[in-house]
Structure 1
């Protein structure tokens, strides 16, 4: 059998896109690919196989490598570990793509944690299409949130969008004063009447979850324009994300006074202080021990870092973020 050239493959799945990164043993990125959603709950297992196969083949072709050259891979997949019946199928899928078992599968929350903190102890909170937190501390690991958009995903783009849509309906009904949010929604969806929004939101198009989550960008614009309702939504989102983090901290058995390294990832945090300021405020009220750290590497790089760690070959972090 051909000896592995030592490449580490990281796959960071998500509800909107899936990132593939191949790095060598010195920690240098050699190939990258971005594919579509890998949220099997929405796209189905067969489509997931196609997305993963295309991504793996793309990075290997760019590097002039074969699957035998992959020393170890980590596939971070959304909703992994949340359905005992389908998980064995997800865990076996990479073997068909790689032709070997030098890989591991896990929830994509691990990618965000490993990238943001470079695989060191601490907690990471992800706020993208959905929201979820994950942390490790002295051999313990814990997750929080991530129960799906129907009754969880607090602080996520989907959650923010739903709260914004509620605010729009209240403004239209006269239950809230009309602010910039109302006009932005009318313009964005070219509404003849406010009720036409129902046709846009309830349209039977795919993927509906991502489409609704995209409305969060309008809520952010409204908040930046001074809309009180939109600003309240982002304040509540920051508080919700902080509550997820603090629940994880307690489960990881941090001692009072012990520093808790905390980082973040996901598109919602691109809103900057709009989300970070209320996030920090609620964290400070929960504990004085948090140390907020800007993400060191992307979740995709994090997946590769984690793959190297699982292979027993931690990287020297020379990788290009």
Structure 2
């Protein structure tokens, strides 16, 4: 029996999943952040813990794994891989690959081995794989390096909108009442002074208020969300052009909390419009499978085998890691 290990190492958690070629889950493990950019030693420990737990539950050793795929946040540039290669090598898995977590999200969201993925959660990122296996990443390095948005930036946009309406630079917005209640202030002046005096930054969950205000028809909130969608659409278009996918039929997979919200299509509509102009045969799909499953599938395909139907069918229903028996 062949066994495949997939690992999803994100900014807040690390999941490890082992399945056999028949699609039976035989081991899983979880730990904390697997992003070396926010702490290499923490990432080393957490990735190791998740893998060790999965192997122990499966009753397997590293040599029993046919192939492993590590989808890791922060695996962006050669400078990152110089840190990650020895870190993952210490685990003793003789056959493994390290990719950015965007790529396992892409694989989890499409039946094809190529396509585009857009991620908008705490930050934003995009990537894709072409028909010939070439990969390209666009974004993921904050506003200074060309990005816009994600929950962190959108929370600041909501806060700024309240300030700008209060001082008269913009029209009144429903965000004012929502933000004051969320942050626990009675007036904008009180909030303004406290944040300015103590160098505060709005908590990331403030971004959800944009969706609440947009649902109520607030033009300011709708405008911010549509701008986020336009920026993500431009990222997708850049990936499509770079990988020469314009004439192909493929999926643009949407992932991350901002894109997975169901309250309207304020962000997604601009993405659809821009993608349709760049690749008329492309489809927009929301990620409905745990990304770690994409890592398992990628491990199998990297071993040189076609993905067995049983391995695909049995794992594609995994939408919550914690519900895996």
Partner of residue 255 from structure 2, selected from 249, 265, 272: 265
1:313 matched to 2:305: yes
- 1:1-321 to structure 2, matched below 5 A, reads 6-42=2-38, 44-82=39-77, 84=79, 86-97=80-91, 99-139=92-132, 140-192=134-186, 193-195=190-192, 198=195, 202-203=199-200, 212-254=203-245, 256=247, 258-272=248-262, 273-295=265-287, 297-316=289-308, 317-320=312-315, 321=318
* 1:117 and 1:296 in contact (8 A); partners too: no
The structural deviation recorded for 1:119 is 4.8
* 1:305 and 1:314 in contact (8 A); partners too: no
Residues 8 and 213 of structure 1, relative CA distance in 2, 3 Å threshold = farther
The structural deviation recorded for 1:247 is 0.7
1:280-317 Cα shifts (integer Å, max 9, x gaps): 13323444232223436321111111111112233321
Off by >6 Å, runs of 4+ in structure 1: none
Number of residues paired by the alignment?
Answer: 307
Secondary structure of the corresponding residue to residue 314 of structure 2: coil
The structural deviation recorded for 1:150 is 4.1
Residues 41 and 179 of structure 1, relative CA distance in 2, 3 Å threshold = same
Separation in 1 of the partners of 2:24 and 2:236?
31
Separation in 1 of the partners of 2:14 and 2:176?
33
Residues 243 and 23 of structure 1, relative CA distance in 2, 3 Å threshold = same
Normalised to the residue count of structure 2, the TM-score between the two structures is 0.84
The structural deviation recorded for 1:29 is 2.9
Residues 16 and 227 of structure 1, relative CA distance in 2, 3 Å threshold = farther
User: Could you tell which deviates more after superposition, 101-110 or 191-200?
Assistant: 191-200
Give the unaligned 5+ runs of structure 1. Answer: none
Normalised to the residue count of structure 1, the TM-score between the two structures is 0.85
Secondary structure of the corresponding residue to residue 319 of structure 1: helix
Separation in 2 of the partners of 1:94 and 1:186?
46
Separation in 2 of the partners of 1:149 and 1:31?
39
